[in-house]
Structure 1
Amino acid sequence: MAGEPQADCVFCKIVSGDIPATVVRRTDRTLTFRDINPQAPTHLLVIPRVHHPNAAELAAAEPGIAAELLVEAGAAAGDDGLESYRLIFNTGADAGQTVFHAHVHVLGGEPLTEGLV
């Protein structure tokens, strides 16, 4: 059920502490940690502590938490000294989503000119 931890979700397991992560920020409703397969010098993931399969479903069910993800993404980027950064929400397997728990990628630390639309 949306909002409830899912036994097979790696991000739910990170939230519960069952899987370790390099956590850089935490709030009552979000957790920010370093990606284990970084695509840029800084690659952070900001996730809600509640489970929703993607950003669209999170925004529909809990818009305040969706907004907090963006606030935390900006704060985490600032903490890492980034003046420029990219935020990415992948929604669905065809868009590259591999963990079906809403999350935003924070990428920076080098020029990110590839893949712009």
Structure 2
Amino acid sequence: MSSETIFTKIINREIPADIVYEDEKALAFRDINPQAPFHVLVIPKTAIATINDVTEENSHLIGHLYVVAAKLAQEHGFAEDGYRVVMNCNEHGGQTVYHLHLHVLAGKEMGWPPYQDTKKGLA
């Protein structure tokens, strides 16, 4: 998998994004296909393709992404009511961009399970 993704282009400002947060390690921007009233993606500025590629050396970035998610929830008024943070891994996990990222979803009550597979009868 190439390390050049749409997220790399957003980090490099080669394509626009609605950026809501940035620091030296991470960038957060609104999802172009939101699944909740508030849906942002939090990405590390260092490319890590999937959760499977997290190592001891880069694991501090994952914690930082969650710190950013909590900060955004607080700043946007969702921390008290609650929010969901999701990280997908590979095709069957729903990952479509191979640059690790958190989905931060808020602004509505979320059900569980988030997806019901009617073909397999799983809930």
Task: State the TM-score, normalized to the length of structure 2.
Answer: 0.84
CA deviation vs aligned residue, 1:64-98 (integer Å, no higher than 9, x gap):
11110010011111111102000000001111100
Aligned length: 113
For structure 1, the residue ranges without an aligned partner over 5 or more in a row are none
More helix by percentage: 1
Q: In the TM superposition, what is the alpha-carbon distance from 1:114 to its structure 2 partner? A: 4.1
Identical columns (%): 37
CA deviation vs aligned residue, 1:37-85 (integer Å, no higher than 9, x gap):
0000000100000111013423544011111001001111111110200
Match of 1:89 among 84, 87, 90: 87
For structure 2, the residue ranges without an aligned partner over 5 or more in a row are 115-122
Bigger radius of gyration among the two: 2
* Distance in 1 (alpha carbons) for counterparts of 2:77 and 2:97: 27
* Distance in 1 (alpha carbons) for counterparts of 2:30 and 2:102: 12
Pairwise CA RMSD:
1.9
Q: Does 1:6 align with 2:8?
A: no
Task: State the TM-score, normalized to the length of structure 1.
Answer: 0.88
Regions of 4+ moved over 6 Å: none
**Aligned residue type for 2:8:** C
CA deviation vs aligned residue, 1:10-52 (integer Å, no higher than 9, x gap):
0000000001101011110000110000000000100000111
